[in-house]
């Protein structure tokens, strides 16, 4: 049977699709931006398409029924990953606004402490008559390319020539006035951030970012590790995609700074342990199974040429050490940047993501864990959840008496969905307004049309269909609240168990550092109200942004900071939550709002009554 033609509107792109392919395969092949947070497993319910023509030519999997409501079916909606062609002809599909993948707001800036400039890469003047023989007698190692550079400058008798040196290895020879640069990368599960630095001045010359291209293989780490385990070429595919994007970012940063990529001599890359292994091409599949041990924890240094990064071929690629299977060099970089390892006060570092990394302690002892918070904070498994892209509601205030909703969206236009910060605002305000009880259940409010039944579950109307981009009501359902409770309980239980391991209490915490994009945009009072972190005064909470990128920059700018990262990775203790018998009870205690053992914070004034409430 010949393939069927599928047309995707509103872009008008078309492709042929075989009967062993699903509609998501077709969308990805022709470059249609369709949301897909679960790598086509049918669990996120985001890849919705409206069938405008050819409904009789499609067959669905039985699993898709659970993800579609009666309203979805009345709109002829199907899940692309669970629908395949079953006949010949033309199928016309419309991508509704809530399923269109748009440009995500990516966090790149972060707290950067002062640093004494002393990079691993430095310039060493080449005096008259300098030769490779003289340099080797002084204890320097010189490769063939660097030897040719030195010889050409000696023949030309150039004034101001210098060697570019990494420790005791000569990487290249160049004129002294030419730039010497380094590139720092934060390899996140969702995004990549790159920073081009002048290693002589310490100045950041350019900052660039891009979504992690591996998202097409799964939103979370476990999905990508499953891809590695399920295909002999899986690791190579993920690494190739990663390096291609990193090379694009390197070229883009150099273009912005008007610097040749050949003048980048040091690249530092940090990330969680899975990203660290994929970047280095190390076996990563075993990270998905107990006891979750990394192939190596040590610092790795390689040459850029054979490695595949398009910096100077002799540039050094530096991957700082990791702590454990799910506690990576990004946490080490974050601890380094916040300087919490130098403080005598009890402090907590929380980098919230699909895999939240937490570290608690003082300069005398630091204990860290990873907590499986999942992608709910990024909108996955939430009926109208989405990333922080154009059209996402990012801030919400609910009037406690009338339940009227004010909101602010990312970008312009009509609202398309709810991102993580808005979800926390909603749940916090509904709890304070007694619309949600401590168990997260909706309570009836006589006379209000905001609380309604959708099928068998209650929901809260956030935006009516007349105001929404998709011409349907945007609601927060009972299931959505439960997903956020599961995610926040994973984070809070990690914090509580680290405190218990240190024999300390939350009242002793003097500082909480919230890192990452989610930690930057969330309202601290909302996070505290739902119990994401302990009931401490809000002036003890500091938003530090992309500290992984900051720590990577510190390692570029100072040999001492690089040494300190190695020391930190050895001294930070790892608490494996999955093996801790206290975890089930701690998790169960963290599920209620704000916490089973918590007293409601003193400041319970809903944000709708405060200055600076969001407005439509």
Task: Tell me: do 371 and 497 sit in the same domain.
Answer: yes
d(CA 235, CA 442): 45
Low-confidence ranges of the chain (pLDDT < 70): 1-3, 10-13, 31, 37-39, 65, 97-98, 101-109, 127-130, 153-159, 519-520, 598-616
3-state secondary structure of 218: coil
Peptide bond into 549 cis (omega under 30): no
Over residues 205-219, the pLDDT tens digits come to 999 998 888 877 877
pLDDT of residue 353: 81
Task: Tell me: do 226 and 308 sit in the same domain.
Answer: yes
pLDDT of residue 334: 96
Q: Order the strands of the 365-371 sheet from edge to edge.
A: 541-545, 511-515, 347-351, 356-362, 365-371, 573-574
CA 131 from centroid of its chain's CA atoms? 48
Task: Tell me: do 368 and 493 sit in the same domain.
Answer: yes
pLDDT of residue 390: 80
Task: Tell me: do 238 and 291 sit in the same domain.
Answer: yes
Q: Which residues contact 133 (CB under 8 A, 6 or more apart)?
A: none
CB-CB contact of 161 with 153 (8 Å): yes
Task: Tell me: do 336 and 312 sit in the same domain.
Answer: no
Task: Tell me: do 389 and 365 sit in the same domain.
Answer: no
Task: Tell me: do 538 and 463 sit in the same domain.
Answer: no
Which residue has tokens 């890469």?
A: 121
Show the tokens assigned to 156.
């030309």
Distances (CA, A) of 558 to 117, 118, 263, 280, 339: 6, 4, 18, 23, 15
3-state secondary structure of 438: coil
d(CA 114, CA 466): 51
Number of structural domains in the chain: 4
pLDDT of residue 609: 41
What domain range includes position 200? 181-319
Task: Tell me: do 477 and 514 sit in the same domain.
Answer: no
d(CA 485, CA 44): 17
CATH number assigned to the domain comprising residue 497: 3.30.420.40
DSSP sequence for 92-126: EEE--GGGB--PBP----B-------B-SEEEEE-
203 part of a folded domain: yes
Task: Tell me: do 280 and 333 sit in the same domain.
Answer: no
Which residue has tokens 């570029």?
A: 556
Task: Tell me: do 193 and 93 sit in the same domain.
Answer: no
3-state secondary structure of 37: coil
157 part of a folded domain: no
Distance in angstroms between the alpha carbons of the first and the last residue of the chain: 53
pLDDT of residue 400: 93
Task: State which H helix or E strand residue 566 sits in.
Answer: helix 559-571
pLDDT of residue 105: 52
pLDDT of residue 108: 60
Q: What's the DSSP call for residue 128? A: T
CATH number assigned to the domain comprising residue 212: 3.30.420.480
Show the tokens assigned to 78.
């199907």
Show the tokens assigned to 552.
């990577």
CB-CB contact of 340 with 286 (8 Å): no
Of 99, 131, 160, at which residue does a domain stop?
A: 99
**C-beta neighbour count of 615 within 10 angstroms:** 9
Distances (CA, A) of 103 to 215, 390, 410: 13, 7, 11
Per-residue burial over 555-582, b if 16 or more Cβ lie within 10 Å, else e, is bbbbeebbebbeebbeebbebbbeebee
d(CA 509, CA 359): 12
Torsion of CA 9, 14, 17, 22, to 10 degrees: -30
């Amino acid at each position: 049977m010949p393939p069927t033609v599928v047309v995707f509107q509103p872009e008008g792109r078309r492709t042929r699709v075989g009967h062993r392919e699903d509609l998501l395969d077709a969308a990805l092949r022709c470059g249609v931006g369709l949301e897909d947070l679960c790598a086509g497993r049918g669990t996120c319910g985001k890849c919705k398409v409206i069938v405008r023509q050819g409904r009789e030519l499609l067959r669905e999997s039985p699993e898709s029924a659970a993800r579609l409501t009666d309203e979805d079916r009345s709109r002829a909606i199907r899940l692309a990953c669970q629908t395949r062609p079953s006949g010949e002809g033309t199928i016309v599909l419309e991508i509704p606004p809530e399923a269109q993948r748009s440009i995500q707001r990516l966090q790149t800036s972060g707290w950067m402490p002062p640093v004494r400039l002393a990079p691993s890469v430095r310039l060493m003047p080449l005096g008259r008559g300098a030769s490779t023989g003289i340099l080797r007698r002084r204890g320097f190692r010189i490769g063939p390319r660097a030897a040719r550079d030195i010889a050409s400058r000696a023949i030309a008798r150039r004034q101001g020539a210098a060697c570019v040196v990494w420790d005791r290895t000569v990487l290249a020879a160049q004129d002294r006035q030419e730039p010497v640069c380094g590139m720092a990368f934060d390899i996140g599960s969702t995004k990549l951030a790159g920073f081009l630095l002048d290693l002589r001045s310490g100045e950041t010359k350019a900052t660039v970012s891009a979504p992690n291209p591996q998202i097409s293989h799964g939103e979370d780490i476990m999905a990508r590790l499953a891809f590695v385990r399920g295909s002999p070429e899986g690791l190579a595919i993920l690494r190739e995609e990663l390096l291609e994007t990193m090379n694009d970012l390197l070229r883009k940063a150099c273009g912005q700074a008007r610097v040749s990529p050949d003048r980048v001599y040091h690249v530092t890359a940090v990330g969680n342990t899975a990203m660290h292994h994929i970047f280095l091409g190390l076996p990563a599949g075993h990270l998905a199974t107990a006891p979750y041990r990394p192939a190596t924890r040590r610092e790795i240094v390689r040459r850029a040429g054979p490695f595949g990064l398009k910096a100077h071929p002799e540039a050094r690629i530096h991957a700082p050490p990791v702590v454990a299977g799910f506690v990576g060099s990004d946490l080490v970089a974050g601890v380094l940047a916040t300087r919490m390892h130098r403080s005598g006060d009890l402090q907590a570092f929380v980098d919230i993501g699909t895999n939240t990394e937490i570290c608690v302690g003082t300069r005398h002892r630091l204990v860290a864990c990873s907590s499986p918070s999942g992608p709910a904070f990024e909108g996955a498994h939430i009926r109208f959840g989405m990333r922080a892209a154009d059209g996402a509601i990012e801030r919400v205030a609910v009037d406690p008496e009338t339940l009227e909703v004010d909101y602010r969206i990312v970008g312009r236009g009509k609202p398309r969905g709810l991102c993580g910060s808005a979800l926390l605002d909603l749940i916090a305000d509904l709890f304070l307004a007694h619309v949600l009880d401590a168990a997260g259940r909706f309570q009836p409010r006589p006379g209000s049309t905001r609380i309604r039944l959708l099928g068998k579950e209650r929901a809260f109307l956030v935006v009516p269909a007349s105001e929404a981009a998709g011409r349907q009501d945007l609601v927060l359902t009972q299931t959505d609240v439960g997903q956020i409770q599961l995610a926040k309980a994973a984070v809070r239980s990690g914090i509580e168990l680290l405190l218990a391991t240190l024999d300390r209490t939350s009242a002793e915490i003097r500082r909480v550092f919230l890192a990452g994009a989610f930690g930057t945009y969330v309202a601290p009072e909302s996070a505290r109200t739902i119990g994401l972190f302990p009931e401490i005064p809000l002036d003890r909470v500091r938003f530090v942004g992309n500290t992984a990128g900051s720590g990577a920059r510190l390692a570029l700018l100072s040999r001492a900071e690089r040494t300190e990262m190695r020391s930190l990775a050895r001294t930070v203790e790892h608490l494996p939550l999955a093996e801790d018998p206290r975890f089930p009870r701690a998790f169960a205690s963290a599920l209620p709002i704000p916490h089973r053992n918590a007293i409601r914070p003193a400041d319970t004034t809903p944000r709708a009554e405060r200055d600076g409430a969001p407005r439509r």
